[in-house]
Amino acid sequence: MLLNLLSSMSDQPLAERMPEGLMLMALGMGVVFTALIVIWLVLEVVGAIFARRDAKKKQNPRPQELITAPAVPAAPKLDDRELIAVLTAAISAHTNKPAFSFRVVKFQERI
């Protein structure tokens, strides 16, 4: 059918080809829309299955043993000037510019 449609379209004027083109467009859009609906339904079913499984886990929680991590000694606190010097050297090495070509205006430590 599609080959017949394409072969017959070449010798017809645009006004006669328009309805067939619109039908072909509607068919393509319908196929895509149907595929999207099927994907949506599959996702809904899978979501419902996992929601039920999670609800069962919440109803019957297993007692878990508490595992404590071994104490790790804290790293020695660096002086801010030393830290700024280390960061400046790293930036200088990364950018291949001398360290005196820029200066640190503000340094804020995030936790």
Domain boundaries, the chain: 2-59, 76-111
Read off the pLDDT of residues 64-93 as tens digits, 9 standing for 90 and up. Answer: 666 666 776 666 665 677 878 888 888 888
* Residue 48 scores a pLDDT above 80: yes
Give the rounded percent of residues in the chain with a pLDDT score beyond 70: 68
Of the two residues 54 and 20, the one the predictor is more confident about is 20
Helix residue ranges, H only, 60-102: 80-95
CA-to-CA distance for 111 and 99, rounded, in angstroms? Answer: 27
* Residue 9 scores a pLDDT above 70: no
pTM greater than 0.85: no
Max CA separation in the chain (angstroms):
85
* Residue 101 scores a pLDDT above 80: yes
The closest alpha carbon to 106, from 90, 89, 93, 87, belongs to 87
| 32-44: average pLDDT | 97
Q: What separation in angstroms does the CA of 67 have from each of 60, 64, 70, 72?
A: 21, 9, 9, 15
| 17-36: average pLDDT | 94
CA-to-CA distance for 29 and 19, rounded, in angstroms? Answer: 15
Q: What separation in angstroms does the CA of 62 have from each of 44, 53, 69?
A: 28, 14, 21
Contacts of 20 (CB under 8 A, 6+ apart): 5, 9
Residue 8 confidence (pLDDT): 58
| 48-69: average pLDDT | 71
Mean per-residue pLDDT over the chain, rounded: 80
